[in-house]
Chains A and B, each alone.
Chain A
Amino acid sequence: MIANYGYKDGSGDYFIAVDTDKCDGCGRCVEACPGTVFEVVDEDPNDPFREDPVVIVARDKGRKLKYECGPCKPPTNRPALPCVEACPQDAISHSWDR
């Protein structure tokens, strides 16, 4: 499942997509993210029959992604995003650049 966490408002689209078929809940993104956006849960809240751990974006964080992710998205000389880099499964992507 592609889980899109985030929102759209007048200023743009701010979504982090997690491919839960790839994610194994290893938690490396949790360690890598300076904004504590991610959280590993034992059960996917959107898939009641899945019993493996998976990463989610907490609801209160999802509502402020533009700001939470801001520090990792400087306007110039942008390094790779820590969460995307950290994921060995290539399961995380962001919908916006800055």
Chain B
Amino acid sequence: MGEEEKKQEYWRWTESNWKNPDIKWEDAKIVTVGIDVGSVSSQAVVMTDGQVYAYSNMRTGSDSPESARNALNLGLEGTSMPESRIDYCIGTGYGRVNVPMADRSITEIACHARGAHFIYGPEVRTVLDIGGQDCKAIRCDEKGKVTNFLMNDKCAAGTGRGMEVFADLLSVPIVDVGERSFEVKEEPEPVSSICVVYAKTEATGLLRKGWAVNEVLAAYCSAMGHRIFTLIERIGIEKGFAITGGLAKNRGVIERLTKEIGVEPMHTEWDTQIAGAAGAALFGYALVQKGKGRRK
């Protein structure tokens, strides 16, 4: 059993794909694809006439072109749609210049605003994207056009990767971190450093002091929430607050963050990780409609 336990990868989140059963791609006029190759996860969204037909969400490998290819393959899996049917493909994300099948690339800032506007609805004015190794705060108008943004991609504190490292360190499956961080008698003080490296040291110290694992999780989640808050503060938060990216799924961080901000986040049925790729596919659709998007 000990052997088994050692092998478990606590950081691993579930990869997925989805297909809209109500859409027949054969009837579509314009098929566009957005591929978001991030530092930790990659997504492909296939859109038919501006509607999500299929998507995939998986881990980015060491090779960006291959990750883009895998994401697209998984997205098209079981759809019988040939790749030649795609009218326009846009790459976005950290690895956007390394998406071989893309006709052009657009920054993740523009794509996330557009994507959040799509998956959360037109009331969105502030988008917070907590990605694998960066954090973006974006303000946008009623059309999903960016009006103000900042991105922090220098420091991985308060990002998805930091959470993965932490889940592994404490041997808690990453999907359970949020729930378990609330299973404490009293909310502990946040850890003093959320630098991924120092947080590890601090967490080990707290465990040695006799803190329960859940308490350490709570302390880390709250430090992370605070860190993200100080970043987003710079651009200001307006109602219509949408959170995208993998960490949007972690209530431990999100609830502590939104408590500090004082603005309730919006809700969506969509996978929050597909926002960037959805935005890219929508840009593709708009460009094709304008006659600007032509296949290479």
Contacts and interface: CB of A to CB of B under 8 A. Distances in A.
Of listed A3, A9, A45, A46, residue having the most chain B CB within 10 A: A46
B135 to A, nearest CB: 9
A49 B109 CA distance: 14
Given A2-B148, A47-B145, A63-B153, A8 B231 contact: yes
Nearest to B114: A48
Contacts of A8: 152, 154-155, 230-231
A33 to B, nearest CB: 20
Contact of A4 (B106, B145, B150, B193): B150
A89 interface: no
Given A7-B155, A48-B283, A2 B147 contact: yes
Contacts of A6: 150
Given A4-B234, A8-B231, A95-B234, A46 B153 contact: no
B163 interface: no
Interface string A1-43: 1111011111001010000000000000000000000000000
Nearest to B195: A10
Contacts of A9: 154-155
Contacts of B193: 10
Interface of B: 106-107, 109-110, 145-155, 193, 195, 230-231, 234-235, 283, 286-287
A67 to B, nearest CB: 12
Interface in A49-72: 49, 59, 63
B10 to A, nearest CB: 27
Nearest to A15: B150
A7 B154 contact: yes
A1 B143 CA distance: 14
A46 B152 contact: no
Q: What are the 5 A-B residue pairs with the smallest beta carbon separation, nearest first?
A: A4-B150, A7-B154, A2-B148, A46-B109, A9-B155
Contacts of A49: 286
B290 to A, nearest CB: 9
A10 B158 CA distance: 12
Contacts of B235: 2, 4
A7 B227 CA distance: 13
Contacts of A3: 149
A48 B154 contact: no
Contact of A13 (B110, B234, B287): B234
A1 to B, nearest CB: 5
Contacts of A46: 107, 109-110, 146, 149
